Amino acid sequence: MLQFIIDGYNLVHKIPEVKGSSTPCSDLLTFIYKNKLTGSNNNEVWVIFDGGQPPYQINNFQYKIRFSSQESADDLIIKKIEGIDNRKQTVVVTDDRQLAYRARFLGARSISVDEFVSKTKKRKKKEETKDIEYSLQREITEELKKIWLDENKS
């Protein structure tokens, strides 16, 4: 089981679908969930935001959500990593170089926002390709042969 620790606002500011939203925290969580960016539902997901909790309702999709309040989200993320026994199974999602370096120093993996979001693009490409049954493929091929060969005879 993997454990994702996501630098919330760092991700919000890099995703066009979420960036201009009036409810960015909630929309970020929805974006992550809908695009299955954290893989299996068995993976643990922490999303950590700077500052206090916003005044609107947040959908959590079984994610653990923290607001750093007085301290920085980066410090809260580091504390979270330090409390984990199996850090090799921990993935920190951030574009903050210093935070990524500190996470790797502690034994966690770090990936950029682009790497994390690229799973969306790969999934959409895969969904765009249509799978058709072999029998239908054969039927189409035979039909095209008839059309092609008849037209070329004239």
Strand partners for 46: 5, 64
pLDDT at 142: 82
pLDDT at 64: 92
Which residue ranges form the domains of the chain, and what is each CATH number?
3-129 (3.40.50)
Whole-model pTM: value is 0.75
Instruction: Give, in order, the Cα–Cα distances in Å from 114 to each of 75, 118, 120, 121, 148.
Output: 22, 6, 10, 10, 45
| pLDDT tens by residue, 30-44 | 999 988 899 888 899
- Look over the chain and give the mean of its residue pLDDT values, rounded to a whole number: 85
Is 14 strand, coil or helix? coil
CB neighbourhood size of 138 (10 A): 10
**What is the spatial distance between Cα 126 and Cα 120, in angstroms, rounded to a whole number?**
10
How many residues are there in the chain? 154
Instruction: Write the burial class of residue 93 (CB in 10 Å: 0-12 exposed, 13-18 middle, 19+ buried).
Output: buried
**What is the spatial distance between Cα 154 and Cα 149, in angstroms, rounded to a whole number?**
9
Tokens of 15: 């995703």
Contacts of 100 (CB under 8 A, 6+ apart): 92, 94, 110, 112
pLDDT at 132: 72
